[in-house]
Structure 1
Amino acid sequence: MTDCQLYLISPLDVSGDFPHRLERALDAGPGLVTAFQFRVKGVDQHEAARLAEPLQAICAARDVAFIVNDSIALAKRIGADGVHLGQGDGDPKDARAQLGREAQIGVTCHASKHLAMEAGEAGADYVAFGAFFPSTTKETEHRPELEILEWWSKVFEIPCVAIGGITPENCAPLVEAGADFLAVSGAVWGGDEVAAIAAFAEAIRAA
């Protein structure tokens, strides 16, 4: 049995009935989905905060960490549980200073052991490697090997997240290699979210 859990990443459009879909997804996998990343592009901070509000409440009611993608300022403004930083989005030390000791700070490390070690030294709470598979959500240029997950989980205590095109059908090797979290978006929101969460639960259990 593995302790691997799901880290849900929002679609870019979280308007309309998305809050209801989020509720369904989280209720389909209690204890399995432990974090949700709010990822919207091209809206101002005021609008982003408005969109985040109902989603943040849904996560809080279910004890799911609400993580803001890219923006330390937005995470601070809405009192998010944490922030996820790409390589160009700021320094984990700066995020820690602004968001406090309890904040969850994650860093995208692509396929680089060096970037991951730097992130750990800077105080990141988790590191993300990927994309392991072609992704429909995001253009990807880095393609790490499974070995990086095995190496990281043996050497470091900080959890690692696998990201990029992950589906119930292809996730088993990532789980076996030691990923603590699978970051998923398209595989859940592209169809029936309840069925997708159930399929991930089954695949993770089987791995």
Structure 2
Amino acid sequence: MATDRDTVLEAAVGVLSRRPTAHLDEIARAAGISRATLHRLFPGREALILEVGMLGLRRFAAALDTAAVEDGDARAALRRLVDAAVPDAALCAFLAGENQLYDDDRLNDLWEVQIARLHALFLRGQQQGVFRIELSAAWLSEAFFDLVAGIGWAVQDGRLAPRDAAFSLAELFLGGALRRPDTTGTPESTDTAPAVQNDPDRKPETDTP
């Protein structure tokens, strides 16, 4: 029976996301194939890594499609994206950790398309009054993707149960890590500091009265 390339790639990401310098022999063992078979499928380490990266981006693009991130309420769209992206969080972890991937123009172009779609989701959410406006849509996009990657690492290392992954991601990102008071009139928190610092009319603080 022919070896399924995507199955081999998924085995590879399970190894490489934990051990980026793993030898091809280790990857072949994880995939249940010989080193010779691995070499027939992928002529070298660089080719294998690039193919894993392309698989990761294709899966993330598919998650964006499944979640219909361009449609409707941004909060609901983000929750759909959480459910769609978490099953492939290990691939996102690989993408986040393998910087050499982005030397490839084809992969880099595909990444730019997907991150732009995520950016547009957060920008729409800000316009709808769903997401905080003192945090840029670009930063929210990067933070979300990195949290998905973090879920991938945590599940792989046994620090997070797979069944809790989507809930943990949605609650942390949408709710924030800090508990906020329910009442108004409380002292200003550090969460609002960036907006104050970015105020062009604000005069510099000095130590003198």
- Output the TM-score relative to the length of structure 1: 0.28
Higher relative helix content: 2
